[in-house]
């Protein structure tokens, strides 16, 4: 939802506040991610709406409501709808963007990759790749080099993901994939 659009009718009935134009409560939340919702709960009660950039999250602050949400036996709530504005373009078809039985099915498929034995093997593969990356980042003995952190971390993360989850050596394709990601 863009700031120009009005919130869905269902949200206008909820207590809360909009905050700054466009930014909403984003800056306050970044400064104090615990204090902001605590203050809003004290002002508006256990269920309220606020504004973070282009999203209007509804906060359920009472333990009973949170328990009901996580149990969601009737599959009435959608986790995917909540995450889609943030990750829909980046992770289409990702686990966060699946609901109910579809989510359980795909989570089950992925669980083998996160067993204790698999995690031990992951750490070994990660260490074998991280150590040379750190060495290269430090100049490999020729002294420290100036380097941009985000592209370096992104490239290392994709290299690790390729090795761990795809069993693939991305090699020459890594720069292109890094750029596309």
3-class secondary-structure state, position 15: coil
Domain boundary at 54, 85, 111, which?
111
> Closest Cα to residue 53, out of 26, 31, 28?
26
> Closest Cα to residue 148, out of 137, 164, 157?
137
- Same structural domain, 151 and 75: no
Domain boundary at 51, 78, 111, which?
111
- Same structural domain, 68 and 148: no
- Same structural domain, 25 and 73: yes
The string of pLDDT tens digits covering residues 35-44 is: 998 999 999 9
First-to-last alpha carbon distance for the chain, in angstroms, is 24
Instruction: Tell me whether residue 29 is in a domain.
Output: yes
Evaluate whether 7 touches 49 at the Cβ level (below 8 Å): yes
- The residue to which tokens 């290392």 are assigned: 156
- Same structural domain, 99 and 139: no
- Same structural domain, 14 and 61: yes
Q: Which domain holds residue 102?
A: 9-111
The pLDDT value given to residue 73: 63
Would you say residue 10 has pLDDT above 90? no
Instruction: Tell me whether residue 101 is in a domain.
Output: yes
- The pTM score is 0.50
The rounded distance, in Å, linking the Cα atoms of 40 and 46 is 9
Higher pLDDT, 169 or 51: 51
Instruction: Tell me whether residue 4 is in a domain.
Output: no
- Same structural domain, 16 and 101: yes
- Same structural domain, 83 and 24: yes
38-42, 131-135, 163-167: least confident range: 163-167
- The residue to which tokens 């359920």 are assigned: 60
Instruction: Tell me whether residue 3 is in a domain.
Output: no
Instruction: Tell me whether residue 126 is in a domain.
Output: yes
The pLDDT value given to residue 144: 64
- Same structural domain, 93 and 136: no
| Contacts for 113-118: CB closer than 8 Å, 24+ residues apart | 113/164, 113/165
- Same structural domain, 89 and 120: no
Tell me phi and psi for residue 154, to 5 degrees. -60, -45
Query: How many domains does the chain contain in total?
Result: 2
3-class secondary-structure state, position 159: helix
| Model confidence band, residue 70 (pLDDT cutoffs 50, 70, 90) | confident
Instruction: Tell me whether residue 146 is in a domain.
Output: yes
Domain boundary at 66, 91, 111, which?
111
């Amino acid at each position: 939802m863009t700031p120009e659009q009005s919130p869905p009718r269902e949200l206008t009935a909820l207590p809360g506040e909009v905050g700054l134009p466009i930014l909403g409560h984003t800056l306050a939340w970044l400064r104090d991610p615990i204090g902001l919702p605590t203050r809003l709960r004290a002002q508006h009660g256990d269920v309220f709406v606020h504004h973070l950039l282009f999203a209007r999250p509804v906060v359920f602050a009472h333990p009973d409501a949170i328990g009901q949400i996580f149990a969601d036996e009737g599959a009435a709530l959608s986790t995917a709808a909540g995450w889609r504005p943030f990750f829909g373009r980046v992770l289409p078809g990702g686990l966060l963007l699946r609901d109910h039985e579809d989510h359980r099915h795909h989570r089950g498929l992925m669980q083998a990759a996160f067993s204790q034995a698999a995690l031990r093997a992951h750490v070994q593969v990660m260490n074998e790749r991280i150590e040379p990356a750190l060495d290269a980042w430090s100049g490999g003995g020729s002294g420290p080099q100036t380097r941009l952190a985000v592209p370096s971390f992104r490239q290392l993360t994709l290299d690790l993901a390729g090795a761990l989850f795809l069993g693939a050596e991305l090699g020459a394709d890594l720069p292109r994939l890094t750029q596309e990601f």
